[in-house]
A and B are shown apart, each in its own frame.
Chain A
Amino acid sequence: MVQLSWLMALSGVIFVIWVAGFIIRRNILVMFMSIELMLNAVNLAFISLGSRLGTMDGQAIVFFVMTVAAAEAAVGLAIIISIFRSRETVHADDLTLLRW
Chain B
Amino acid sequence: MPPVVFWFLATLSIVAALGVVVQRNPVHSLLALVLTLISIAVLFIGQDAVVVGFLQVIVYAGAIMVLFLFVIWLLNLPMETGSTGRLAIKFLGTIAVVALLAELETFSMPAQLQIKFSATHAAGYGSIETLAETLFSQYLIAFEVTSVLLLVAVVGAVALARRSTTVEVQERAEQLAGREKAA
Contact = CB atoms under 8 A, between A and B. Distances in A.
Interface SS majority for chain A: helix
B71 A80 contact: yes
A11 to B, nearest CB: 8
B40 A26 contact: no
A69 B64 contact: yes
B contact residues, range: 35 or more
A18 B81 CA distance: 21
Interface residues of A, number: 71
Given A56-B130, A68-B146, A71-B150, A23 B160 contact: no
Contacts of B85: 24-26
Interface in B102-133: 104-105, 108-111, 115, 117-122, 125-126, 130-131, 133
B67 interface: yes
Interface of B: 1-3, 6, 10, 13-14, 17-18, 20-21, 26, 29-30, 33, 36-37, 40, 43-44, 46-49, 51-52, 55-56, 59-60, 63-64, 67-68, 71-72, 74-75, 77, 80, 84-86, 89-90, 93-94, 96-97, 100-101, 104-105, 108-111, 115, 117-122, 125-126, 130-131, 133-135, 138-139, 142-143, 146, 149-150, 152-154, 156-158, 160-161, 163
